[in-house]
Structure 1
Amino acid sequence: MTQKIGFVGLGAMGLPMAANLLAAGFNLTVYNRTASKADPLVAKGAHRAVRAGDVAHPGGVVVSMLADDASVKALVTGDDALAEHLAPDGIHISMSTVSPATTRELAEYHASHGSVMIAAPVFGRPNAAQAKQLRICVSGSAEAKAKVKPILDAMGPEVFD
């Protein structure tokens, strides 16, 4: 697999999730506020981005696993404006557990900027993420969900629509 994807958020959940994508053969560019958290992935072939927006390219796919609503909002609409970097037709897979209101707001923001958001919160703890045993709930357009299914499958055995 040579698809290029970006990943933002390499904490206790994000690091093993990103490692599984790298192991599955994806060409991965990663970003974390604490740059050293990317070191294990870079040692295995991932590319390190200097800024969060640098993980995205027009028409590409970016996965985020961040702590809360505010962090996801800042990624999508802030200085790095992920929604704009992905346009046209790029997909943001938000795997954080955030409020339904934030999900709707960010999906609308993406749409207004020519990109798409897939909400894909996960069930599982860091050990489940490491073992590729996450349960993933996904919502968004059918076309976008079909495009990202191989990415989700690399992180867990069950994807629920």
Structure 2
Amino acid sequence: MTNIAIIGLGIMGLPMAKNLVKAGYDVTGYNRSQGPIDALVEAGGHGASSVADAVKDADVVITMVPDSPDVAGVVRGEDGVFANAKAGALWIDNSSIRPDVAKELAEEAVAAGFGVVDAPVSGGEQGAIDAVLSIMVGGSPDDFAKAEPVLNAIGKTIVHVGPAGAGQTVKAANQLIVAVNIQALAEAVVFLEAYGVDTDAALKVLGGGLAGSKVLDQKGQKMLNRDFAPGFRLALHNKDLGIVTAAARQAGISVPLGSAVAQLVTSLVARGDGGLDHSGLFKLTNELSGRD
């Protein structure tokens, strides 16, 4: 039985860990708060008291934490993965971070004797629960081959997209597409409501045509219900759009729609709405139109 350590048991990490248990892996989890650790233990996994404790016997180490500094903090240092995991272990980073940081940390991992892939995920909380995440993987072909069986336990579409950092680059593109789609959907719902249209019927027919999308399927009803309980928090999408705009600037390309939506998301976060689901873009769009 492969021993897997997973660091970060948040909205995404905990259901991923549970699915790894269901797949037959021996899973040990660590999280800064105790509640998710207890939930993993109840599901058949094990809890750890620190990163070092979690990874000491692991064949595979998975990190699922919010941002680039968090990943670096988990893998570096005396208590980190590199100092405490056994030689030859495979590190899978499912976090969404800057491509340049992913590449830098991958080089450090290889120098320390580990296999490594950057494998950010898309699909939100429900995708993690249902084990149908889309996973874009950067790294060597050999390390991808080692990671693929593990990733198959948490995702449905697993694609090797290139060398170290490539997974994070594709994830940035994913977040650009998702953000622009959510904003377009928010504007459409405000438009429909302004004209008193039966919005349930309207979204149903729109979903069956070219305007149909997973964003419409998953976020349309949330907007109609004003239900912004987080599946993916605006604060995290704000971080991701910062990665997009910075990387676009570095590459010398223009992302006008992405930049505009990035400013709207930043505005929501700045006023205290960062804990809402990213469908909360609807709130600001509605307010800009003078509607409740």
What is the deviation of 1:86? 2.6
**CA RMSD across the alignment:** 1.4
CA distance in 2, matches of 1:125, 1:143: 28
Tell me which stretches of 4 or more aligned residues in structure 1 moved more than 4 Å. Answer: none
Residues 125-136 of structure 1 mapped to structure 2, 5 A cutoff: 125-136=124-135
Q: Report which structure shows greater RCO (CA 8 Å, sep ≥6).
A: 1
8 Å Cα contact 2:52/2:85 also seen in 1:
no
CA distance in 2, matches of 1:38, 1:97: 22
8 Å Cα contact 1:58/1:90 also seen in 2:
no
CA distance in 1, matches of 2:7, 2:58: 17
User: TM-score scaled by structure 2?
Assistant: 0.53
One-letter identity of the residue aligned with 1:76? V
The residue that corresponds to 2:158 in the other structure is 159
8 Å Cα contact 2:18/2:45 also seen in 1:
no
1:118 has 2:117 as partner: yes
8 Å Cα contact 2:5/2:58 also seen in 1:
no
Residues 9-28 of structure 1 mapped to structure 2, 5 A cutoff: 9-28=8-27
- Secondary structure of 1:7's counterpart equals strand
Q: Percent same amino acid among aligned pairs?
A: 36
Cα shift readout 1:35-65 (whole Å, capped 9, x = no counterpart): 2211111012211111012221367211111
Q: Which of the pair has more CA radius of gyration?
A: 2
The residue that corresponds to 2:192 in the other structure is none
8 Å Cα contact 1:88/1:114 also seen in 2:
yes
Contiguous gaps of at least 5 residues in structure 1:
none
What is the deviation of 1:135? 0.1
CA distance in 2, matches of 1:37, 1:54: 16
One-letter identity of the residue aligned with 1:46? G
Larger helix fraction of residues: 2
- Secondary structure of 1:139's counterpart equals strand
What is the deviation of 1:84? 2.7
1:100 has 2:102 as partner: no
Cα shift readout 1:49-97 (whole Å, capped 9, x = no counterpart): 1101222136721111100001000011133120232342111100001
8 Å Cα contact 2:3/2:57 also seen in 1:
no
Contiguous gaps of at least 5 residues in structure 2:
161-292
User: TM-score scaled by structure 1?
Assistant: 0.94
Larger strand fraction of residues: 1
Greater shift in the superposed pair: 64-73 or 114-123: 114-123
CA distance in 2, matches of 1:61, 1:12: 21
